[in-house]
Chains A and B, each alone.
Chain A
Amino acid sequence: MAKLTKEEVKHIAHLARLAITEEEAEKFSEQLGKITEYVETLNELDTTDVEPTSHVLPIVNVMREDVAKKGLELEKVLLNVKEHENGLIKVPPILEE
């Protein structure tokens, strides 16, 4: 696997919602290629039947009482929003014409 082509990098950038220029795709394909080559050293290890660890604590489900609580005030929520109108956040067109 290791080597990442420029096209693959562009696809990954799209999945990650990052605009990317030709030069960046070139640079990242080289850098990410080196990194993926390095991380593939893990293949030296036989991990058949080894359970994956997602995090180290024996915590499974943490429940709380099902009681309604007040959320954030609208004024606070909108404090950091660049564009809003009548309590709604404005965004550019979602559907193409």
Chain B
Amino acid sequence: MTLLERSSKELQEGLHKGEFKIVDVINETYKRIEEVDGDVQAFLALNKEKALEEAKEKDQVPVNERGPLFGLPIGIKDNIVTEGLETTCASKILEGFIPIYDATVVKKLREAGMITIGKLNMDEFAMGSSTETSYYKKTKNPWDLERVPGGSSGGSAASVAAGEVPFSLGTDTGGSIRQPAAFCGVVGMKPTYGRVSRYGAVAFASSLDQIGPITRNVYDNALLLEVIAGVDPNDSTSADVPVPNYVSKLDGDIKGLRIAVPKEFLAEGIDESVRKSVLDALEVFKGLGATVEEVSLPHSKYALATYYILASSEASSNLARFDGIRYGFRAEGVKNLMDLYKQTRAQGFGDEVKRRIMLGTYSLSAGTYDAYYKKAQQVRTLIKQDYDKVFEDYDVIVGPTTPTAAFKIGENIDDPLTMYANDILTIPINLAGVPAISIPCGFDNGLPLGLQIIGKHFDEETVYRAAYAFEQATDYHKQSPRLGGK
């Protein structure tokens, strides 16, 4: 077993026994990246020199002073700012941008002793479901290099699946952690809105965005969320709710857990292989002593339209800051200030970002505001109420993460609406603000499938307990893609 195939527990055991050092783990990480990233293309920037320096320092720290993630490598999605390390949001408009502070989550990783390996590719400004809208490179799915890794956190999911890093951070506005986690066969958690500080995450849609962990197993995922969660004075939407010790609750016992299965999540448009894997998963849960009942989330079919109005409106406002003045790309040969703004933005943003900025601008403009923006906010209320109602009688909601397994590169890129439909099962969760995880639950012709487990506000604990019990009862998470001849 290579170092990077080990869980955090196994890595710490080896470090404590002196079988290897932190610097060996970090060296191994970069070696693996060198071997496979030419194929996978998950990383946009590497932090090698500093990471190795930090590793040597950390090897001097006595083992009894180290926490469970101390000295372990992590990759960061490129829309989370890292002081001194280029952060581009995979956009030309931020080419060469060097952040002058760390995001709160990055500061917390540092305090836990984790080592930042590099920055991970994504859809430009997190707008996309395939990582194809990145200005810089196309990340490949490690299970089939002709397929997309999902998106927008495609680099974060692919790097973990490819064994380049055991941990990564992603962001999720409409499914951007869970959908790539499902496509790449890894574990991805979108926490409750407000659970994790967004300070230093470049804003896309502020009322929906959340940072969350991507890992190879549920235990490590819970461990990482514990580190990054919590209230932050720098994010007034972070919630002052105590963060439980998640991993101490992972015992595999879910007897009596009340599972709701929305009929809308297994309806038309869901691939047969996906449906079957979810039905099989429900049998596993029943076998573990959970009860499973069908419910309805009647407004599900309106979630996609609601999301595209709200997320685009918020994006049109958030992305106004990219004007070529204070940072990033600046167009040359312009006539005046207005021309500078227009040319910088026209040359700096890709088509998908422009589409969403324009849709948002239109939704918020005089004459359409009530029919679009306000209407969508009202439908959001109805969607949230659907979830509140189900959670009166159930502990978790279970369904598929995506309607299909990973699609081919180029297959959907010219058809925005088909691309958007990929997120039909993940978007309502962001609108309702509840937490949800995607865990491996099967394969379709060698491509991983994801099971989505959705919880009540701030009840990540129950989501993790259910996910852990399922994982321990199955072996989907133990399989890895073949890469680099291994």
Contact = CB atoms under 8 A, between A and B. Distances in A.
A77 B372 contact: no
Interface residues of B, number: 66
Contacts of B381: 50-53
Contact of B342 (A19, A36, A76, A82): A19
Contact of A12 (B327, B339, B361, B457): B361
Nearest to A94: B337
Nearest to A75: B100
B382 A50 contact: yes
Given A18-B349, A92-B336, A31 B98 contact: no
B341 interface: yes
Contacts of B372: 39
A80 interface: yes
A31 B342 contact: no
A92 B337 contact: yes
The main secondary structure of chain A at its interface with chain B is loop
A39 B305 contact: yes
Interface in B330-386: 330, 334-343, 345-346, 349, 354-355, 357-359, 361-362, 365, 368, 371-372, 374-382, 384
Nearest to B305: A39
Interface in A25-62: 28, 31-32, 34-36, 38-45, 47, 50-57, 59, 62
Nearest to B326: A81
Interface residues of A, number: 52
A57 B365 CA distance: 26
B132 interface: no
A85 B320 CA distance: 25
Given A38-B417, A55-B237, A56-B384, A32 B362 contact: yes
Interface of B: 96-98, 100, 193-194, 206-207, 233, 236-237, 239, 299, 302, 305-306, 308-309, 316, 320, 323-328, 330, 334-343, 345-346, 349, 354-355, 357-359, 361-362, 365, 368, 371-372, 374-382, 384, 416-417, 432-433, 457
Contacts of A59: 194, 236-237, 239
A43 B306 CA distance: 11
Contacts of A79: 98, 100
A92 B378 contact: no
9 contacts: A17-B320, A17-B345, A18-B346, A19-B339, A45-B302, A56-B194, A77-B100, A80-B326, A81-B325
Contacts of B379: 42, 45, 47, 50
Contact of B376 (A1, A42, A62): A42
Contact of A16 (B236, B361, B375, B416): B361
B308 A35 contact: yes
B264 to A, nearest CB: 15
B355 A28 contact: yes
Nearest to B341: A17
- Among A1, A53, A57, A81: residue with most chain B CB under 10 A: A53
A94 B336 contact: yes
A77 B325 CA distance: 12
Contacts of A91: 325, 337, 340
Interface string A62-97: 101000000010001101111100000101111010
B124 to A, nearest CB: 15
A96 B339 CA distance: 12
A89 B340 CA distance: 14
A7 to B, nearest CB: 13
A9 B237 CA distance: 34
B316 A16 contact: yes
Nearest to B337: A94
B354 A82 contact: no
B330 A34 contact: no
- Among B239, B362, B365: residue with most chain A CB under 10 A: B362
Nearest to A50: B378
Given A72-B100, A92-B339, A18 B358 contact: yes
B433 A55 contact: yes
Given A45-B379, A54-B207, 15 more contacts: A12-B361, A17-B342, A17-B345, A18-B349, A35-B308, A43-B371, A50-B379, A52-B378, A54-B377, A55-B207, A56-B194, A57-B237, A57-B433, A81-B325, A93-B337
A66 to B, nearest CB: 14
B57 to A, nearest CB: 25
Given A12-B361, A53-B381, A80-B97, A35 B417 contact: yes
A19 B345 CA distance: 7
Contacts of B306: 42
Contacts of A55: 193, 206-207, 237, 433
Given A39-B305, A51-B381, A64-B233, A1 B432 contact: no
A56 to B, nearest CB: 3
Given A82-B330, A92-B335, A53 B377 contact: yes
